[in-house]
Structure 1
Amino acid sequence: MALSYSEALFLYCFKKIKDERTIYSLFHLFQGKKSSQTIQDAHLYNLTPFFQAFPFLTRQELESKVISLQNKGLLIQKAPEHFILSDKGERELSLFVTRRPMPPRYLDGWKYHHLTSLFWQRLSLLVQVASNLVHQKRQFIPVQNKQETLDWVKDYIRRQNLSREELGHGIFKELSHCLIQCEGEPAVLVRRLTGHDRIGLTSIQAADELEMEHVHYRLEFLNIVHFILHKAVETPGCFPLLDGIIRDIEKPVPFTLSTEKTYQLIKKGYTPGQIAQVRNLKLSTIEDHIVEIALHLKDFDLEAYVPKSKQERILQAAQNTSAKKLKQIRDQVADANYFEIRLVMAKNGDKS
């Protein structure tokens, strides 16, 4: 029997982490846990697209899925909470991804997780209000009930200085352009929208109507939303109305609060040891922060912490072992400490 989408998704992720992380590392990834370990793992194993993809997933649901995959002979347990794909699992996954690439092309949970929910709340309400304005309907039940979202839409419309017809046509034009360019199925998003004469479906209703597994629908929905965000952020001049929805919140992925404090001290020239002393934290905690900073900043000066020659030897060791286990790498690069290895691997995870 062919794999379901959710089975393929879990096998894909288990294949990425091998048996180097527990099943709960995936739980924290899907929930979007803002811990240094989860953030580092997402980058190290090239799983950033799935960051916060399933924030409502429970441990019980994850454990049940693992047991099911194991019972079907697709997973093999190597140690408590550690699994690898069986030969059958490898074959089935390979067949699946030839028909349906994974992850969806534009899915980028790490880059857009802090924008996705608010963007959808604003967009869905804006479409509803614009549709009712065009058809001169003043009485309707808003699809979003947060007062801040309602106030934001009122202010947004006021700032556009457009007639109701111009606003409605403009939103329709920009959304249509995105949906035509995106490789996803437009109905995945359109079925969710509410207008003057139709009520949008819930995610479960839309998935059922489109005959998609709910996990599959969720990723396809995020894929389209992330594509729209990409177009709005990267080419705001072409999508001024969509860009306006996130202009006040559009910013790089924020550091965790504690990491931000460490970053400010780094910019002042403090060493990791000095920061640990000033903040009364363990040096290992500060090192976690620095790894997180390296993942955020494209221009992070890695050589300030690890000499170039040592970086190259660490990466070579990682390639030789075909694993991300720090101890195996350190056995080959004895003069490197674990912080240096983590930093290099985090910054170059997709190259190792």
Structure 2
Amino acid sequence: MEITYTEAVILYCLKQLKGERTIFSLYHLYQGKKSSQTIQDAHLYHLTPFFQAFPFISREELARQIERMEKKSLLDKKSNEHFILTSTGDLKLGEYFQANTLPPKYLDGWRHHHLTALFWERLSILVQVCSNLVYQKKSFIPIQNKLETLDWVKAFIKKRQEGRMGLSSTLFLELLNCFQRDKTIDPSILVLRLTGQDRIGLTSGQAAELLGMDHTRYQLEFLNILHFLIGTVSDEAVEFPLLNALIPEAEKPVPFTLSTEKTFQLLNRGYTVEQISRIRNLKRSTIEDHIVEIALHIKNFDLAAYVPKDKEKRILEAAKETSAKKLKLIREYAEDASYFEIRLVLARNGDQKWK
């Protein structure tokens, strides 16, 4: 029995979770839910590549996948909505890894999710416009219909000085140069989706079928290429000035949720948790959620005001001893620590391996 790519992804993610979170925590991860719990779990369980990887998946579809995998003896129900891999599931996942890389090399949903759609919209419409300019075709139906995207490409082209042939040539050479940085990437995964003069790009389903790929795999490989491009041109802006211009937010960090941003501003003005709770008319626990999210974003965020150094050390030791992220289990080892303190310390150190 061989497993599908979709099954491999789910098995991989559930193995990371170790039965400590429900299957619907994966649903929120795949959707890219901007909640403190989902964001923290993505870091704690090293699942940040999959953040917002499948925004169109439904709860029902995920549940059906889990049910089918349980019937195939790949998963075992630990408790309601909690699943762990069976020995068969673990074996099949291991076999799958021998021939496949998971997650794809450049997939980084957490780092790039707020830029990916914008980058693709701008790249795809620019390619279409350049193609039609080269053939001197002024009338065509734009592949993107967002007014702001169309306004952007018009303004972008007006600023360029090299003319239509020069612009097209520069775009082609920068893309070619970028793809040559890693020969393991298959550019056709992206190119098949592009629209040009007298050529309509394929849908993701059509491209997957043409390439003989599981649709889930195609989705991740397509995102992998976009994330590769975004990461490369952001890090080497001088080398790729045109492509870098498609992502003006390239140096901007992943944004806070709106509510967390307001809490962050008040913290910077010296307000305490209690004061912010009163000012914003929110529960203390909600403000604590925001602080955990802030600790995930800002690596030099000072925890000392919330967790004494000696307690932070004991929480870390407890996490390593239990090799778990279950707050209740860690608290049994660090009895004087509050759940907020534990979550905060784990947020700061979530990217490290425990055991």
Tell me the TM-score normalised to structure 1 length: 0.97
**Are the aligned partners of 2:34 and 2:257 in contact in 1 as well (CA < 8 Å)?**
yes
Residue in 2 aligned with 1:209?
A: 210
Note if 1:326 corresponds to 2:315.
Answer: no
Residue in 1 aligned with 2:346?
A: 345
The letter for the 2-side match of 1:205 is Q
Residue in 2 aligned with 1:82?
A: 82
**In the aligned structure 2, how far is the partner of 1:324 from the partner of 1:97?**
25
Shift of 1:144: 0.8
Residue in 2 aligned with 1:283?
A: 284
**Are the aligned partners of 2:115 and 2:249 in contact in 1 as well (CA < 8 Å)?**
no
Residue in 1 aligned with 2:179?
A: 179
**Are the aligned partners of 1:29 and 1:51 in contact in 2 as well (CA < 8 Å)?**
yes
- Give the secondary-structure state (helix, strand or coil) at the position aligned to 2:212: coil
Shift of 1:198: 2.1
Residue in 2 aligned with 1:15?
A: 15
Shift of 1:128: 0.6
Residue in 2 aligned with 1:39?
A: 39
**In the aligned structure 2, how far is the partner of 1:156 from the partner of 1:81?**
49
Shift of 1:282: 1.0
Shift of 1:52: 0.5
**Cα deviation per residue 1:62-107 (whole Å; 9 max; x = unaligned)?**
0110011101000000101000000000111111112212111110
Describe how 1:21-170 pairs up with structure 2 within 5 A: 21-170=21-170
- Give the secondary-structure state (helix, strand or coil) at the position aligned to 2:154: helix
**In the aligned structure 2, how far is the partner of 1:231 from the partner of 1:350?**
22
Residue in 1 aligned with 2:316?
A: 315
**Cα deviation per residue 1:98-137 (whole Å; 9 max; x = unaligned)?**
2212111110101111111111011000001011111211
**In the aligned structure 1, how far is the partner of 2:283 from the partner of 2:98?**
47
**In the aligned structure 1, how far is the partner of 2:52 from the partner of 2:71?**
27
Note if 1:200 corresponds to 2:165.
Answer: no
Percentage identity across paired residues of the two chains: 60
**In the aligned structure 2, how far is the partner of 1:338 from the partner of 1:119?**
39
Moved over 4 A (4+): none
- Give the secondary-structure state (helix, strand or coil) at the position aligned to 2:351: helix
**In the aligned structure 1, how far is the partner of 2:18 from the partner of 2:119?**
35
**Are the aligned partners of 1:112 and 1:253 in contact in 2 as well (CA < 8 Å)?**
yes
**In the aligned structure 2, how far is the partner of 1:235 from the partner of 1:251?**
15
Greater CA drift, 167-176 or 134-143? 134-143
Shift of 1:248: 5.4
Shift of 1:263: 0.1
Greater CA drift, 216-225 or 277-286? 277-286
The verdict on how the C-alpha distance between 1:156 and 1:248 changes in structure 2, with shifts beyond 3 A counting, is farther
Tell me the TM-score normalised to structure 2 length: 0.96
**What is the root-mean-square deviation in Å for CA atoms of aligned residues?**
1.2
Structure 1 unaligned segments of length 5 or more: list them.
Answer: none
**In the aligned structure 1, how far is the partner of 2:166 from the partner of 2:307?**
56
Residue in 2 aligned with 1:266?
A: 267
Shift of 1:249: 7.2
Shift of 1:250: 5.4
Structure 2 unaligned segments of length 5 or more: list them.
Answer: none
The letter for the 1-side match of 2:166 is E
**In the aligned structure 1, how far is the partner of 2:226 from the partner of 2:313?**
38
**Cα deviation per residue 1:249-295 (whole Å; 9 max; x = unaligned)?**
75211111111110001101112122112212111111000000111
The letter for the 1-side match of 2:276 is I
**Cα deviation per residue 1:177-229 (whole Å; 9 max; x = unaligned)?**
22222332111001111122422111110000000000000000000000100
**Are the aligned partners of 2:244 and 2:250 in contact in 1 as well (CA < 8 Å)?**
no
**In the aligned structure 2, how far is the partner of 1:160 from the partner of 1:340?**
52
Note if 1:218 corresponds to 2:214.
Answer: no
**In the aligned structure 1, how far is the partner of 2:43 from the partner of 2:249?**
27
**In the aligned structure 2, how far is the partner of 1:78 from the partner of 1:204?**
35
- Give the secondary-structure state (helix, strand or coil) at the position aligned to 1:208: helix
**Are the aligned partners of 1:115 and 1:250 in contact in 2 as well (CA < 8 Å)?**
no
**In the aligned structure 2, how far is the partner of 1:276 from the partner of 1:185?**
51
Greater CA drift, 8-17 or 342-351? 342-351
**Are the aligned partners of 1:124 and 1:194 in contact in 2 as well (CA < 8 Å)?**
yes
